[in-house]
A and B are shown apart, each in its own frame.
Chain A
């Protein structure tokens, strides 16, 4: 029997869908010749324990080389003593994580968008997994239990009650009794809702046109939060009411035909403007002029963006964000036009000082340096802003990093147009950032580029950024000793004490002290500094904490304070100060 062409078409559709999901997998398989890379490999070892310090045998541990799309994950399992060893790791920086069903890693929770916890080959670490909470319940409708409906949970507050932005979304499906069960949940508060399953989105469900019903039987605004602590088991039943929502539809324009073998379909995301959470994502209908539609949306304000990844070039085309308001009717006729985003190319320059010899791992330095580009949403009353391109809600606070190749070249692709702060970090001991410049390395340009931002527009490709890393960095370790009214985990600042030193923001350093008051500042340029400790400024969920390098006001205030406190420290090239004592004294108004 010949396979019918119509079934083939369906198959082709499936394959196209799969292909559009597969670019990531594909990049893993790209070969690269190791002729030019370092042949030495290293090992990361460690232990996985529970909250009482007992070993967790059987936990899966993986180490991913960050910033390398074709890096292979090193994977292993903790033995009966909870110990693990991952070897064969190329020079670079790694993110290490452990997992065990029902458990949650505390370490993972410290992962934020603009910082990662990383390790090098040769490091040893302890990973603590805590027993996660369980939320279970039943979804019922007017006619009894709902079978096969999607149930979603998202963490809206952390264990200390601090509000979180658009956290991870977990999804389960009810069984034939309408029962669902989430487990391994991190401590915090959750909101829960029942809606069409998103899992297997190509298939319709009975709930496609409905708005979600939030626990207990509410809208998003009246949803009850469910607090969950370690190991809790909480029952939360949802009473579903089937209420039709509205549709938002349109088309995607300026789609690229690619040039490479795989043409990835564009995808479209819709965000809730109020909480910045992505609500749904969908694809286009290639047979109907690249039309798309979302269904089952309640009244409210939304933002839509379209994107298309081109596997041939690694480019990610994006549309400008488009805002829509749903008020009791469908919204149609939206056009999202794809366009190139911005790019920045640069070069790491490594300045070796043969007299010093304290810079570690010189050969792998380029592969260990993360060059970050960060942009932040201007404060609400900032007045004039440099934003020239409209920016999606998902990119208003945006941070990304690249890792240079063995020759020190790096390039940022797919940056949403805007102003970026360039900030290298992650390099080994003995090295510090001496300058960041654009074009000729003049002192003025250097200071400006480090202090201000690099602006790029969508479609623009900026080249010639130079990051100079020099040998001879000092290290300062010590402890903030308890003074009167010492706040938990204050921030230790190191500020230039030379006249006109304030011009060079690269010489401002900050680190948050550990719970026992100890602190460690690595990669510090030699020179004269003021040192001072300040309470940590709890910022709200949307705005990231203000950094001293980023915020001129913070810089001026802290510097002024430090100058009055007059606690100096002088660091000679390669010097290691290991037991600095910094008495905490409350700021006098």
Chain B
């Protein structure tokens, strides 16, 4: 894995999901206009959300494989049945998506089920496939599939790692029709409210809100010109529907905003009605009548160069909310300073904010300390932001057991990216990020300008997503920095990144006895101890048959573990025991060879005799 000394334990919350959805929306629309959107995107790669992102993305796409065989390999096939409501489903489009090719817009192998619900996808070259139906209104009939979130564009799926000439049978998909919630949003005068976002939240049995389930691939549900919305493909369960924004600590339209209102007409979460959705049924008339728009305030001020007091134009501002515990932390703004250095952030609701120069997107040479602003009933003006010039990080990339030229030939366009973060002390103070990157020059050197001081983390980015070298050691001024870099206002030079790149393969199987892993998400993680403290590794998810493969592994001795995590969303009303632990296995990987491992897992309950 990449060097991320500041890596935090996975944060798996509504936030992360929301970002994912925004991310996909925006990529889809190709409409990344505002700085705010950009900020959000960059935040996705910030470490706070990194792990969550990875997990969510893995919900869509599991393992990916890498190398291309020179010889035309023998093809194989995958077959199975599609069941809808436990009955064979005819004329359903089934596709084998090549998980390598998914990134590459490769053609999809697809077929239709016959009258028995049987499908047979033949002529498949060896690769990692996802078997899925093109049925966005369907959801998985039972949990334990490999797509825990009913990934929004395919209702359900199974992954198959197909070997050359192999015929894999009985890859069945069991589906049910998802539920539908529809209604109309009107204002106090009974006029329809058009293009207003509608939120739907899955509520678990114990009443806790669960991460939002993106029900359809595409934008967040929005009302049309008649104020009508329709959300389909919902897994059975209880839901809460809402429209509008929080009354404090949010940024909306300068023309005001609709206060967060739950169905039927509750502004208080505890008075929201829960909506029961059952498979295949439509719940209609989930109408919400909103009160008049509440007014918003503005924050205005000036950005000046701290060195000479001159106004700075074209500087984008960041805005974050000082949050009370348990509240979402962030908001965005696209406010930019004008020719005289002045800025106005309009559409702000009451609350405590930090205003600062937005560096999250790496687009600014300046940064600033956050200025705390309290917004009450009045507009806030006269906020002065002193802009400081960002610092730089420079150094050299040193390949391990490889010539630099060879590395740069194999991995063209290799870049070093840096992220820094400061603040975020846990007491409601937001975290301020900055990002930057530099191409690795032919002599191995790199220089990343415009960074905000703080803790920094470096990573590598190759143009080819399937060829990512790994940082295995970072030194600054000859001293190892396993705990991460501290960046001050002084430029940091002499950073050395030792990089591993290889063509080894680890593959194998996971065999389960005495139970099922359906409540967990299994992953094989192989890591290598370099020196004492710098682990580097990679992992893969076993497929429908327990097969897995990890490609592009640098030579070395690895410790491979079977790791289990919880599947999501939280199971309804059941308590899932903590995942069991398994001992690791040690293997050696060399370039161009495949190393096999087998995990035999016995889940037979202990102390309970037959």
Residues of A within 8 A of B (CB): 1-18, 21-22, 24-35, 37-39, 41, 58, 60, 70, 72, 75-77, 88-91, 101-102, 134, 143, 147-148, 173, 175-176, 181, 183-184, 199-206, 208-209, 247, 257-263, 282-283, 285-288, 291-293, 295
Contacts and interface: CB of A to CB of B under 8 A. Distances in A.
B41 A22 contact: yes
Interface in B17-74: 23-24, 26-30, 32-35, 37-38, 41, 44-45, 50-51, 53-55, 57-58, 61-65, 68
B358 interface: yes
Contacts of A247: 107
A208 B107 contact: yes
Given A76-B254, A200-B28, A283-B105, A184 B225 contact: yes
Interface in B400-422: 412-413, 415
Most buried by B among A4, A58, A202, A285: A4
B216 A9 contact: no
A258 B415 CA distance: 11
A4 B538 contact: yes
Contacts of A21: 27, 30, 32
Contacts, number: 292
Contact of B1 (A3, A199, A204): A3
Interface string B102-122: 111111101000000000000
Contacts of A22: 32, 38, 41
Nearest to A92: B339
A77 B51 CA distance: 39
Contact of B225 (A88, A102, A282, A293): A102
A296 to B, nearest CB: 10
B594 interface: no
B225 A29 contact: no
Given A25-B35, A287-B464, A58 B312 contact: no
A150 B435 CA distance: 36
B203 interface: no
Contacts of A183: 224-225
A573 B491 CA distance: 59
A26 B362 CA distance: 8
Contacts of B466: 9, 287
Given A30-B314, A204-B97, A199 B58 contact: no
Given A15-B461, A257-B412, A34 B339 contact: yes
6 contacts: A1-B565, A7-B57, A32-B313, A33-B305, A147-B232, A206-B110
Interface of B: 1-2, 10, 23-24, 26-30, 32-35, 37-38, 41, 44-45, 50-51, 53-55, 57-58, 61-65, 68, 91, 93, 95, 97, 102-108, 110, 134-137, 153, 178, 180, 194-195, 216-218, 224-225, 230, 232-233, 253-255, 305, 310-316, 334-342, 344, 346, 358, 361-366, 412-413, 415, 436-439, 461-468, 470, 523, 525, 527, 537-541, 550, 552, 563, 565
B578 to A, nearest CB: 13
Contact of A12 (B342, B436, B468): B468
With a 10 A CB-CB cut-off, give which of A33, A37, A209, A259 has the most chain B CB atoms: A33
A44 B289 CA distance: 35
A-B residue pairs, 4 tightest by C-beta: A29-B363, A5-B538, A77-B255, A4-B539
Nearest to A199: B28
B439 A259 contact: yes
B340 A6 contact: no
Secondary structure type dominating chain A contacts: mixed
A17 B30 CA distance: 10
Contacts of B344: 88
A4 B95 contact: no
Contacts of A2: 1, 525, 527, 537, 539, 563
A138 to B, nearest CB: 13
Contacts of B107: 208-209, 247, 293, 295
B23 A18 contact: yes
Contacts of B339: 34, 37-39, 41, 90-91
Contacts of B136: 147-148, 176
A426 B358 CA distance: 34
Given A34-B341, A148-B216, 17 more contacts: A1-B525, A1-B565, A2-B525, A3-B51, A6-B538, A14-B27, A15-B45, A29-B314, A29-B336, A31-B312, A91-B339, A147-B135, A181-B224, A181-B225, A200-B24, A202-B27, A209-B107
Contacts of A206: 93, 95, 110, 134
B63 A261 contact: no
Contacts of B552: 5
A362 to B, nearest CB: 17
B59 to A, nearest CB: 10
Given A18-B41, A75-B254, A31 B364 contact: yes
B122 to A, nearest CB: 17
A16 B195 CA distance: 30
A367 to B, nearest CB: 10
B473 to A, nearest CB: 17
A437 to B, nearest CB: 32
Contact of B313 (A34, A101, A202, A282): A34
Contact of B315 (A31, A58, A209, A260): A31
B50 A16 contact: no
B407 to A, nearest CB: 15
Contacts of A147: 135-137, 232
B54 A14 contact: no
B314 A70 contact: yes
A209 B135 CA distance: 17
A175 B465 contact: no
Nearest to A200: B28
A10 B103 contact: yes
B363 A26 contact: yes
B363 A90 contact: no
Contacts of B108: 204, 208-209
Q: Tell me which of A13, A38, A208 has the highest count of chain B C-beta atoms within 10 A of its own C-beta.
A: A13
A6 B27 contact: no
Nearest to B549: A6
A6 B540 contact: yes
B352 to A, nearest CB: 25
A143 B53 CA distance: 37
Contact of A5 (B10, B53, B334, B468): B468
A416 B68 CA distance: 38
Nearest to A29: B363
Contacts of A262: 437
Contact of B54 (A7, A25, A39, A76): A7
B175 to A, nearest CB: 13
A442 to B, nearest CB: 38
Given A2-B527, A2-B537, A206-B93, A282 B105 contact: yes
A35 B26 CA distance: 36
B217 A200 contact: yes
Given A41-B339, A70-B314, A176-B233, A134 B32 contact: no
A29 B37 CA distance: 12
A14 B23 contact: yes
Given A7-B54, A147-B136, A25 B224 contact: no
Contacts of A288: 68, 104
A175 B230 contact: yes
Contact of B38 (A26, A175, A261, A291): A26
A11 B24 contact: no
Contacts of A90: 313, 338-339
A32 B336 CA distance: 11
A203 B102 CA distance: 7
Contacts of A32: 312-314
B11 to A, nearest CB: 12
A99 to B, nearest CB: 10
Contact of A286 (B437, B464, B565): B464
Contacts of A77: 253-255
A24 B32 contact: yes
Contact of B64 (A10, A30, A201, A282): A10
